[in-house]
Amino acid sequence: MVDTSVTLSGLRLTNPVIPASGTFGFGYEFAELYDINILGSLSFKGTTREPRFGNPTPRIAECPSGMLNAVGLQNPGIDKVISQELPKLRQVFQKPVVANISGFSIDEYVECCGKIDAQECVGIIEVNISCPNVHNGGMSFGTSPESAAQVTRAVKAVTKKPVYMKLSPNVTDIAAIASACEKAGADGISLINTLMGMRIDIRRRAPVLKNVTGGLSGPAVFPVALRMVWQVFEAVDIPIIGMGGVSSAQDVVEMMLAGATAVEVGAANLKNPMAAKEIIEELPRLMEELGIERLSDIIGGAH
């Protein structure tokens, strides 16, 4: 019998598969399709201080082997997430969740992280300093080691739970930013968020997305994500949650060999709502085929 469990900052997950923020809502919607308690955990929709409608439409565009999104952090705001969304989720999901927090200022990150830290169902706080689809916030904090460290320190000062900094791939040196977060007290690193891209409607001769640019996700970004997880594993001594184009059990194993302890599944959920379930069901068979008894043994195993 193979062992699919992994441990993130003292939190034991029955398997490493976590639906990624922004692709799984607040989780309870998917409970109508299958028992979501089979998931290792789930990262709920990116949450800000104030409610956000997000960017104007159209904000989704198809691409070969992926998609562009410029949703822009649509969410009901931290207070409603705590009072309305999390109670609904707790009715159908009994495991600790990953709380994805975004902000437009350090004060906002601090306020939201302090509030979410007090929620019993939250196991890990994932601080998004990497969103490419909002103006004057998000990614601007994740593009330099100094600003990434500044957010990390501020958030760690008001939280007791493990803090994972979610990094942008739209940088020149991902390892330097991860190292700065580690030095500032981060408990772990999540990467990657989407890559910036765009499409043009050749008949209208205008960008497809109202926002002009959007975040590219899906299988097309997997090799980039894998390379960055590899680089960050070499640079830090804290756990990594790897993501970016993961759509199969094989991708999960590959991510873990590159250095990820757990793996988030994003765009695949939008294409196939059963994607995370199917990956979890396939993992034990693949482990047996590869002669892996304990999945945790392969973390960083390709280095």
Active site members: 131
Give which of 82, 110, 88, 98 is closest to 22, Cα–Cα: 98
| Number of residues assigned to the chain | 303
- Report the C-alpha gap between 190 and 239 in whole angstroms: 9
Buried b / exposed e along 40-67 (16+ C-beta atoms within 10 A) = bbbbbbbbbbeebebbeeebebebeebb
> Cα-flanking dihedrals φ and ψ of residue 255, to 5°?
-60, -40
- Report the C-alpha gap between 102 and 91 in whole angstroms: 25
Residue holding tokens 């992280």?
A: 113
- Report the C-alpha gap between 48 and 103 in whole angstroms: 6
